[in-house]
Amino acid sequence: MNILISNDDGIYSPGLRALAGVASEFGQVRLVAPDVEQSAMSHAITILRPLHYSPVRVGGFEAYRVDGTPADCVALGAHLWGGIDLVLSGINLGLNLGHSIWHSGTVAAAKQAAFLDIKAVAFSSPYGGEVPDYGVYAPYIRQVIRLIAEDPDLPLLNVNFPEAPNGLYWTRQSVRHYDGQVVSGTDPLGRSHYWLAVRPVEEVEEGTDRWAIEQGGVSVTPLRLDLTDEVGLRRAGIALDK
C-alpha cells in the first residue's frame, strides 16, 4: 500500500511523524507537507505562483516540504507519486470538530485526496501546548486504517482523539453551535487589534463528534463531498412544479 502523509501544522510537526510511524506498518509512506504552519487555511490552493517540492529529513521517512497549502501538498504529492492508495492527514495539534471541519487545513488535505478519488483520513488531537502522548492513539490509527482500506463505502473520514481514548465512536458532525469568536485587545503601542479565536461549546448533542470526545471516545465521522441541501432541493423542486 502506498500511503501519502500530509498535514497543516508543517513538515516538522511531531504529529506527522507519529502518524507516519504507524502508517509505515501498512506499506510505503511518503511525507509531503507545508514548509510552515498552514492551520485554518481550509481548502485554499495556490494558483498565482509556482510551488516548490524539496526533500527534507524527517525521522528516516521519505519527506518533502512544499511552499504551499495542505491541499497543494496532496495535489502535488499525488501528481508526483502515482498509485497512491491512501492519504492520511495529521495528526493535527488541535481538534477539528463541528464547524472547524470547514476551517481545517488538516481536513482539507484529506478532502483533496477525495477529489482525486483516493481514500483519506484526517486525524486530530487535543492540544494545550504540550505534545500529546501519541502512543495511546496508535491502536486506533491502525483500526481506522484497516477500516477504510477494507470498506469501499468509506472514502473520507474525520477522526478526533480525546486525551485518553476508551473506544471508537461513529459520529455525525455537530452543527448546532459555532465556537468561533472575535476577541479584541490592545497592543503595546495602544492600537486596537482583533483575534479570531474559539470559545468552549457547553451544549453537545448525543451522537455528534463533540459528544464522543466528551465521552472519552475516538470520534470517527464519515464525510462526503456533496454539499447539496437535499431537503431544500426537494422543496424547491416542489415549488417549481406548482
**Which part of the chain contacts Mn ion (CB under 5 A), choosing from 5-13, 52-60, 72-80, 233-241?**
5-13
CB of 39 to Mn ion, least distance (A): 3
C-alpha 94/C-alpha 126 separation (Å) is 5
In the three-class reduction of DSSP (H, G, I as helix; E, B as strand; rest coil), residue 207 is classed as coil
Task: List 156's β-bridge partners, or say none.
Answer: 120
CB of 46 to Mn ion, least distance (A): 18
Positive or negative: CA dihedral 104, 101, 119, 48: negative
Binding residue (CB under 5 A) for Mn ion from 39, 100, 160, 208: 39
User: For Mn ion, which is the closer residue by CB, 16 or 156?
Assistant: 16
CB of 192 to Mn ion, least distance (A): 27
Q: Does 8 bind Mn ion (CB under 5 A)?
A: yes
CB 66, CB 30: distance < 8 Å: no
**Which part of the chain contacts Mn ion (CB under 5 A), choosing from 9-17, 142-150, 171-179, 213-221?**
9-17
CB of 68 to Mn ion, least distance (A): 15
How is residue 208 annotated by DSSP?
B
Q: Does 72 bind Mn ion (CB under 5 A)?
A: no
Interface with Mn ion: number of residues (CB under 5 A): 4
User: For Mn ion, which is the closer residue by CB, 26 or 88?
Assistant: 88
Buried b (16+ CB within 10 A) or exposed e, 23-59: beebeebbbbbbbeebbbbbbebeeeeeeebeeeebe
Contacts to Mn ion from residues 76-95, by CB under 5 A: 92
Q: Does 9 bind Mn ion (CB under 5 A)?
A: yes
In Å, what is the CA distance from 166 to each residue of 39, 161, 178?
Answer: 28, 10, 26
Contacts to Mn ion from residues 127-166, by CB under 5 A: none
User: For Mn ion, which is the closer residue by CB, 36 or 183?
Assistant: 36
CB 88, CB 120: distance < 8 Å: yes
**Which part of the chain contacts Mn ion (CB under 5 A), choosing from 31-39, 130-138, 215-223, 229-237?**
31-39
In the three-class reduction of DSSP (H, G, I as helix; E, B as strand; rest coil), residue 88 is classed as strand
Count the neighbouring beta carbons within 10 Å of the beta carbon of residue 162. Answer: 20
**Which part of the chain contacts Mn ion (CB under 5 A), choosing from 33-41, 58-66, 77-85, 135-143?**
33-41
Which residue is closest to Mn ion by CB? 39
CB of 8 to Mn ion, least distance (A): 4
CB of 92 to Mn ion, least distance (A): 4
CB 220, CB 144: distance < 8 Å: yes
Task: List 88's β-bridge partners, or say none.
Answer: 5, 121
Give me the residues that bind Mn ion (CB under 5 A), please: 8-9, 39, 92
